[in-house]
Amino acid sequence: MYYEYIPEGKEYPVLCRRLQTNKPGWAEKILSYVKAEFRREEILLDWNEVAEKHGYVHVGQCRISPDHNFLAYTLDATGSEQFMLQIKDLRNGCIIPMAPVNGVVSLAWAQDCKTLLYTIADENQRPYRHFSSLVLCTKLESGNTDDTLVFMENDPSYCVDLTSAKDGKFITVYVVDATEPLNGLQRVHERVSGVQYFLEHHFGFFYILTNAPMKENIKCSHEGLYLARCRVGDIQSTTWQDMDIFNGHLVLFLNKDGFPMICSIDLPINVDCKHQMLIEDLNPWFFPIPSNSCSIEPGSNLDFMSSVYRVVLSSPVIPDVIVDYDMARRTFSIVQQEEVLGAPSNARSCSSGYELDSLQQHGIEKDAKDKNVELERWKDFSSTYCCERKEVISHDGIRVPLTILYSPKAWKSSQSPGILHGYGAYGEVLDKSWRVDRLSLLDRGWVIAFADVRGGGGDDPSWHKTGNGLLKQNSIHDFVSCGKYLIDEGYVQRDQLSAIGVSAGCLLIGAALNMYPNLFHAAILKVPFLDILNSLLDPSLPLTMLDYEEFGNPGIKSEFECISSYCPYKNIRPRGCPPSVLVTASFNDSRVGVWEAAKWVAKVRDSACSSCSRSVILTTNMSGGHFGEGGRYIQCEELTYDYAFLVKAMGVDMN
């Protein structure tokens, strides 16, 4: 069993393992080098020691070899996201000497336990998140210092990802046989612009989650390998977002009307793959979840043979709760829930009946076997804090989801300060999970709201497409409409609304500040993407060419004019009176140049009218990267500074 935790008083986690098996002789066979007690905790990697050595640490990926003898991981010691590959021999605790390999993005072990496949980035850091342009193999303990090139992607508008199938039989770039990783690649399907494929393998069959039209024919000529591509019929207003696979079960992540859902289907599926099926025909089990849950995050779930699926459920009023769902017995049990010190004593506990009722509200009938679900309980603070979901009419009549959080005891109609969060890019769903730091604001009458504007993630792929490229202004109008709604409906006092955005979310907020300078009294922009026009005009910058698909290519006249019309830096109003703004940047940020924040702040200050008394503050983190400095205590300090700025800028009496 592999796990990690943060030791008391430390900044970073430690990665550990402990033997957990009832099979006699298994430990001696697999871990023959271990002479100590098998069930004693073994620390594999202490991030705190790495941080002490380098002053900063960000561990990207960790991969254990199939024989449990090696740990491969990537390490960023500067915040620049230039990850360095290191391989640790767990038999003796030593780092294996090897030539430096930098810019590593993703890792996968072959079944021989000696071959490691990895990806590296080009000079423009082409990968967005976990991708790169090269895939290489290296032989451990062979004395061969020359890695073998397996695949190179020459098109700068595409990235390459490297993942292992859940059963370990294949590694996907195209498809690499994990038993013979150097014997070439097998193409599963030709690349088609706008079409996505997520691939898993199960006893000779590939299971593919794709947005491709049903009329497309997928073939694979690999001997003895078949592709299962049956369409599971639609539940109205439901989209399939992700999947996971086990020896006996297929797990599907869904979104229905903006609410996350998850279900399991028994494997194998004995169906005619040429015809569409209804999901009800497959006897799915929809996991019981709270009706107001906003976030379902899967655990590691690395054991292919397991019938238990672990997730973390959360919402603005439900502290993170770890739940194990037994897919064979169709029951669930709560493993742990985050303890909230000083929380209100009247937090209610919600039994399983409450959660099961929520499925019927989504139009899904309860499975008969759900009656055997044990009456577990989890804490829900919805009796103390209201979490409301509204639909706001945007400029073009589209309904935009708005989640509003406040304390009925402390909130005062049309007299409370508020914060509006937004992102609206890359199809990413705005994070609305539990955060204990919000309670201090809620208990003092603040309103915290989340605008799920177009361009971000929604209940349909079109939600992203109608808020990017030439339609990006929809995102901005959606955000402004949500801000006006909070004021018009009395949730927030007219001159007490603030906004918070991160990275591409600052593009949204920066444009809104230009268009409606009097709507927001204050704003916090973290590692902000504010000079989008000049950045996209420079193809030598990291991520630029990849961002053409999201925001448009300024080399095309119509797209240039669209980007120019909302670019936050270009459209700063002269002689205006901007709201108070706190801008935080990171010097080593490889995704958004530190100069974007600096030049935007300088221009706003220079353009402000002489009588404007509001503050525009720039802080620069000199040691971290796009995601800050990483340590939990440093993050607390940054959060404290953010809240102090808002309180002072908005003139709120916190007593």
Q: Which residue has the tokens 């599926």?
A: 269
- Res 38 pLDDT > 90: no
| Least confident interval from 47-51, 264-268, 352-356 | 352-356
- Taking 3-state DSSP, the helix, strand and coil percentages for the chain, each rounded to the nearest 5, stand at 20, 30, 50
What pLDDT, on a 0 to 100 scale, did the predictor assign at position 179? 65
What pLDDT, on a 0 to 100 scale, did the predictor assign at position 146? 64
What pLDDT, on a 0 to 100 scale, did the predictor assign at position 380? 85
Residue 234 or 522, more confident: 522
| Least confident interval from 182-186, 306-310, 533-537, 609-613 | 182-186
What pLDDT, on a 0 to 100 scale, did the predictor assign at position 132? 33
Highest mean pLDDT among 218-227, 288-297, 311-320, 349-358: 311-320
- Give the amino acid at 595: W
| Least confident interval from 172-176, 385-389, 617-621 | 172-176
Mean pLDDT value of segment 330-355: 69
**Distances, alpha carbon 219 to alpha carbons 187, 227, 488, 496, 514, in Å:** 9, 7, 56, 59, 51
Specify whether the CB–CB gap between 121 and 106 falls below 8 A: no
pLDDT, tens digit, 9 for 90 and up, residues 45-72: 998 988 888 877 888 889 999 889 999 9
**Secondary structure class of 525 (helix, strand, coil):** strand
Q: Which helix (H) or strand (E) holds 462?
A: helix 462-465
Is residue 173 one of the residues assigned to a domain?
no
- Res 358 pLDDT > 60: no
Residue 89 or 269, more confident: 89
Q: Which tokens hold the place of 560?
A: 């240039």
Q: Which tokens hold the place of 548?
A: 């053409």
- For residue 36, name the pLDDT band (cuts at 50, 70, 90): very low
What pLDDT, on a 0 to 100 scale, did the predictor assign at position 367? 45
CATH number at residue 526: 3.40.50.1820
Nearest to 580 by CA among 430, 442, 417, 432: 417
Q: What angle in degrees, to the nearest 10, is found between the helix axes of 504-515 and 473-488?
A: 60
Is residue 158 one of the residues assigned to a domain?
no
Whole-angstrom distance, CA of residue 655 vs CA of residue 458: 38
**Distances, alpha carbon 293 to alpha carbons 38, 306, 358, 369, 378, in Å:** 39, 25, 10, 22, 12
Mean pLDDT value of segment 384-398: 96
pLDDT, tens digit, 9 for 90 and up, residues 478-516: 999 999 999 999 999 999 999 999 999 999 999 999 999
Mean pLDDT value of segment 395-418: 96
pLDDT, tens digit, 9 for 90 and up, residues 464-482: 999 999 999 999 999 999 9
pTM for this predicted structure: 0.84
- Res 24 pLDDT > 60: no
What pLDDT, on a 0 to 100 scale, did the predictor assign at position 182? 60
- For residue 200, name the pLDDT band (cuts at 50, 70, 90): confident
pLDDT, tens digit, 9 for 90 and up, residues 514-556: 999 999 999 999 999 999 999 999 988 888 888 999 999 999 9
CB neighbours (10 Å) of residue 653?
7
What pLDDT, on a 0 to 100 scale, did the predictor assign at position 34? 46
- For residue 222, name the pLDDT band (cuts at 50, 70, 90): very low
Specify whether the CB–CB gap between 639 and 437 falls below 8 A: yes
Is residue 188 one of the residues assigned to a domain?
no
Whole-angstrom distance, CA of residue 296 vs CA of residue 276: 28
The sign one gets for the Cα dihedral 506, 646, 418, 432 is positive
Whole-angstrom distance, CA of residue 430 vs CA of residue 298: 17
| Least confident interval from 166-180, 314-328, 496-510, 617-631 | 166-180
**Distances, alpha carbon 460 to alpha carbons 394, 466, 504, in Å:** 17, 11, 21
Cis peptide before 528 (omega within 30 of 0): no
What pLDDT, on a 0 to 100 scale, did the predictor assign at position 271? 59
DSSP string, 319-364: EEEEEEEETTTTEEEEEEE---TT--TT-EEE-HHHHHHHHHHTT-
Whole-angstrom distance, CA of residue 433 vs CA of residue 295: 6
Q: Which tokens hold the place of 547?
A: 């961002």
Q: Which residues of 526-545 are buried (b: 16+ CB within 10 A; e: fewer)?
A: bbbbbbbbbbbeeeebbbbb
State the first-to-last Cα distance of the chain, in angstroms, to the nearest integer: 48
Is residue 43 one of the residues assigned to a domain?
no
| Least confident interval from 29-33, 41-45, 576-580 | 29-33
- For residue 184, name the pLDDT band (cuts at 50, 70, 90): low
What pLDDT, on a 0 to 100 scale, did the predictor assign at position 197? 76
| Least confident interval from 149-153, 169-173, 372-376, 588-592 | 372-376
Strand ranges, E, within 24-79: 42-46, 58-64, 70-76
Whole-angstrom distance, CA of residue 288 vs CA of residue 370: 8
- For residue 606, name the pLDDT band (cuts at 50, 70, 90): very high
Q: Which tokens hold the place of 311?
A: 């997730």
Is residue 259 one of the residues assigned to a domain?
no
Number of domains observed in the structure of the chain: 1
What pLDDT, on a 0 to 100 scale, did the predictor assign at position 160? 76
Is residue 255 one of the residues assigned to a domain?
no
What pLDDT, on a 0 to 100 scale, did the predictor assign at position 396? 96
Is residue 640 one of the residues assigned to a domain?
yes
Is residue 513 one of the residues assigned to a domain?
yes
Percent of the chain with pLDDT over 70: 80
DSSP string, 397-422: S-EEEEEEEE-TTT--TTT--EEEEE
Whole-angstrom distance, CA of residue 356 vs CA of residue 86: 46
- Res 593 pLDDT > 50: yes
pLDDT, tens digit, 9 for 90 and up, residues 85-109: 989 999 988 988 877 888 888 888 8
- For residue 495, the enclosing domain spans 386-650
- Supply the mean pLDDT for the chain: 81
